[in-house]
DNA sequence: TCAAAAGTGTTATCCTTACACCCATGT
DNA sequence: ACATGGGTGTAAGGATAACACTTTTGA
């Protein structure tokens, strides 16, 4: 046991910074979409979270509503010639405003540029059924016996078109990686002749992005995080489209509304908007109080008599 | 952006290693329970997970069934005189066997030695109602206006006796920390005259432990991780007591059994055991297949027509 | 014979799912 | 008038919560 001596390890911070722009879920990137914003962990940051907040807000000039740690990766650059190891701590950040672009070649990119098979808002993506699934099938067939059965089960469990689970975005990417169907899986970069559609990123940034998307998709189900991405006032239709954008799935209108109402997540502002294309809609605002009121979480354990 | 130069940062690994010993959930500790096992992150470990696995298995001589990353902390030792920062990456590990004790002063300690207010298996803990809650109440009263209301709401949300939520173990500890009711909250160590009951740990190890417990309590509800802590064959009663030990709550027998059955989590071995104290019980084993079959997770989103 | 735990059966309730319809605006 | 989205009511089904009771052993 005990505190380690300083080692040749560099610690870097990564951010998956998300915003909704025109019903599209977008992520802030650099270098024409090839990288997530990253920065060194400065020793003078009081906490990790503060570090992330500081440099993201500095770069984008917008306050970060919500920040949560995603994961720490260190199994990268294994064959680095630099002689030291990089530990990268990744964060998910949600922001309400469009960040000032231009600086440092910042730019917003849709989630689904990187993961086209994850957008089911217009039904099962053709890319999935026509390209991804057949490729995975070949990968399954290429193995034999036990390995084949295991591959089969993993594909079925994660890519089942008849019971699609949007939360498994990370696992699906990892499976494609293992199957050698994404460019990042090979080194040198060009070894994969014909990857599956979907823009790659450098290093493991696409994996980090997948981690963020999966986490966000899981979280919207039991925590009111969508509101971090919404303007102060919004219609229920906008709210629904926001959730649909993140989940990559269409929702049932009436049931969605009942859910939102009965959980007391929102309250009417009294105002209306006519920018709907149809009947004018009531405007609502998020009830911030409930975050404190209900620490919440759904118990699935069959408790004994109270 | 870009890769950081090496900085004076040390990376250490922490493990919350859990086993069930005689219906008590226990954690592996050093130094008479004051520390969690920790080790430096060796640059030659291929991955972080492999690093944890390697040194835990080396120290305990038992295979680690399940390992998952918990959290990365870096806001510690802020005033360290050593001149460098420590980033510690913590892991949760589940093991089926009792680790070989003796070496390095390893020892198992019950969760509830550190968090006595978390064990509701015999009803609301007296420590909670007689000591913790009154102290929190004083803390609430000590503030005024807005601050008071916020404190009030946080206490109610996390410590509500009438709707106890076992998953909030971490938040409760953090609240006690903020309220200055645990010794770790002060430096020098002796500044808190009369802390709430519950054994402290050095550094922030108790917080890490709370993180592990909270994660485990959340996870048993939607992933079959309990089985990592069970012997290969077990009775349904044993299984129930295992979940009860982790959750710190009593469960409803019949409903628990139905849940286990209808999810196809277990299968009969055909054998019986008479070590029950009553009627002999059927032995079951975990159906490992289902982990692959169902990538699972409960959708709470009201999806539109399939 | 009695305590202790295993094991079975059934009902009430709530939440989720699904269906079908009306309303108010812009073009 | 009609297309477009906003907004409402209600019934069916399934999962959960809660009830009470029988069975088989060891002491």
Q: Is the CB of B305 under 7 A from strand C?
A: yes
Cis? peptide before B188, omega within 30° of 0: yes
For chain B, residues with pLDDT lower than 70 are 1-8, 43-44, 76-83, 97-104, 187-191, 292-299, 305-306
Radius of gyration of chain A (CA): 21
Instruction: State the pLDDT at residue B5.
Output: 46
Q: Within an 8 Å CB–CB cutoff, is residue B295 touching chain A?
A: yes
Inspect the interface and report whether the beta carbons of A85 and B292 lie closer than 8 Å: no
Residues B133 and B84 grouped into a single domain: no
Nearest CA of chain B to the CA of A28: how many Å?
A: 13
Strand D bases with any atom < 7 A from protein Cβ: 3-10, 16-20, 23-26
Interface of B with A in 141-180 (CB under 8 A): 150, 153-154, 157-158, 165, 167-168, 171
Residue A249 forms part of a structural domain: yes
Residue A15 forms part of a structural domain: yes
Residues in chain A: 306
Residue B37 forms part of a structural domain: yes
pLDDT digits (tens, 9 = 90+) for A83-102: 678 889 999 999 986 655 55
Residues A128 and A176 grouped into a single domain: yes
Mutate to test the interface with B, among A2, A5, A7, A73 (most CBs of B within 10 A): A7
Residues B19 and B103 grouped into a single domain: yes
Instruction: Compute the average pLDDT of residues A155-175.
Output: 93
Instruction: State the pLDDT at residue B301.
Output: 83
d(CA B167, CA B247): 8
d(CA A20, CA A262): 25
Query: Diameter of chain B by CA atoms?
Result: 67
Q: Within an 8 Å CB–CB cutoff, is residue B80 touching chain A?
A: no
* Residue closest to A196 by CA, chosen among A176, A175, A169: A176
Residues B107 and B30 grouped into a single domain: yes
Where a domain ends, among B64, B91, B113?
B113
Residues A78 and A21 grouped into a single domain: yes
Count of domains forming chain A = 3
Write phi, then psi, for A270 (nearest 5 degrees). 100, -25
d(CA B39, CA B13): 5
Where a domain ends, among A181, A197, A213?
A197
Inspect the interface and report whether the beta carbons of B89 and A84 lie closer than 8 Å: no
Q: Within an 8 Å CB–CB cutoff, is residue A262 touching chain B?
A: no
Bridge-based pairing state of the strands A24-29 and A9-21:
antiparallel
What's the CATH number where A78 sits?
A: 3.90.79.10
Residue numbers of the domain that contains B106: 9-113
Residues B243 and B278 grouped into a single domain: yes
**Closest residue in B to A45 (Cα–Cα):** B75
Bridge partners (DSSP) listed for residue B27: B18, B109
What's the CATH number where A255 sits?
A: 1.10.10.10
Q: Within an 8 Å CB–CB cutoff, is residue A133 touching chain B?
A: no
* Residue closest to A154 by CA, chosen among A130, A127, A136, A180: A136
Residues B151 and B170 grouped into a single domain: yes
pLDDT digits (tens, 9 = 90+) for A261-295: 888 899 999 999 988 888 999 999 999 887 765 55
Residues B188 and B231 grouped into a single domain: no
Residue B300 forms part of a structural domain: no
Cβ proximity of A18 and A25 under 8 Å: yes
Residues B13 and B109 grouped into a single domain: yes
Alpha helices in chain A (DSSP H): 48-60, 111-114, 126-127, 133-142, 145-159, 169-178, 205-219, 236-247, 253-262, 289-293
pLDDT over 60 (residue A6):
no
d(CA A52, CA A205): 16
Long-range contacts of B240-244 (CB under 8 A, 24+ apart): B241/B23, B242/B20, B242/B23, B243/A301, B244/B121
User: Which protein residue has its CA closest to C1' of C4?
Assistant: B278
Residue B4 forms part of a structural domain: no
Residues A84 and A131 grouped into a single domain: no
Inspect the interface and report whether the beta carbons of B252 and A7 lie closer than 8 Å: no
Residues A127 and A158 grouped into a single domain: yes
Torsion sign (Cα): B171, B172, B173, B174? positive
Bridge partners (DSSP) listed for residue B273: B281
Inspect the interface and report whether the beta carbons of A256 and B302 lie closer than 8 Å: yes
pLDDT digits (tens, 9 = 90+) for A14-58: 999 999 999 999 999 998 999 999 888 776 677 888 888 888 888
Instruction: Compute the average pLDDT of residues A241-263.
Output: 93
Residue A2 forms part of a structural domain: no
Residues A265 and A229 grouped into a single domain: yes
Residue A202 forms part of a structural domain: no
User: Which protein residue has its CA closest to C1' of D25?
Assistant: B279
Residue A301 forms part of a structural domain: no
Give A82's pLDDT tier (boundaries 50, 70, 90): low
> Which nucleotide is nearest, taking the CA of residue A303 and each C1'?
D17
Instruction: State the pLDDT at residue B6.
Output: 45
d(CA A231, CA A98): 11
């Amino acid at each position: 046991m005990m505190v380690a001596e300083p080692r040749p390890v560099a610690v870097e911070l990564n951010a998956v910074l998300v915003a909704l722009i025109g019903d599209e879920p977008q992520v802030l990137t650099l270098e024409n979409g090839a990288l997530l914003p990253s920065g060194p962990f400065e020793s003078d940051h009081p906490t990790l979270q503060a570090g992330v907040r500081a440099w993201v807000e500095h770069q984008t000039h917008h306050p970060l509503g919500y920040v949560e740690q995603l994961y720490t990766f260190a199994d990268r650059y294994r064959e680095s010639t630099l002689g030291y190891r990089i530990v990268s701590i990744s964060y998910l950040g949600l922001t309400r405003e469009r960040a000032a672009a231009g600086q440092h070649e910042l730019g917003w990119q849709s989630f689904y540029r990187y993961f086209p098979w994850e957008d089911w808002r217009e039904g099962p993506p053709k890319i999935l059924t026509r390209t991804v699934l057949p490729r995975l099938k070949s990968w399954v067939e290429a193995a034999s016996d036990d390995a084949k059965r295991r591959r089969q089960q993993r594909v079925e469990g994660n890519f089942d078109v008849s019971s699609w689970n949007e939360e498994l975005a990370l696992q699906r990417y990892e499976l494609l990686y293992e199957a050698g169907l994404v460019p990042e899986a090979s080194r040198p970069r060009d070894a994969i002749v014909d990857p599956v559609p979907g823009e790659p990123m450098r290093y493991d940034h696409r994996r980090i992005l997948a981690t963020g998307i999966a986490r966000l998709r899981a979280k919207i189900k039991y925590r009111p995080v969508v509101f971090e991405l919404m303007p102060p006032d919004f219609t229920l239709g906008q709210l629904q489209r926001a959730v649909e954008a993140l989940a990559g799935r269409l929702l049932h209108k009436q049931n969605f509304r009942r859910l939102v109402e009965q959980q007391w997540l929102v309250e009417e502002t009294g105002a209306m908007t006519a920018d709907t294309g149809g009947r004018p809609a009531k405007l609502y605002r998020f009830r911030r109080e409930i975050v404190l009121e209900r620490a919440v979480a759904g118990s699935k354990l069959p408790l004994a008599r109270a």
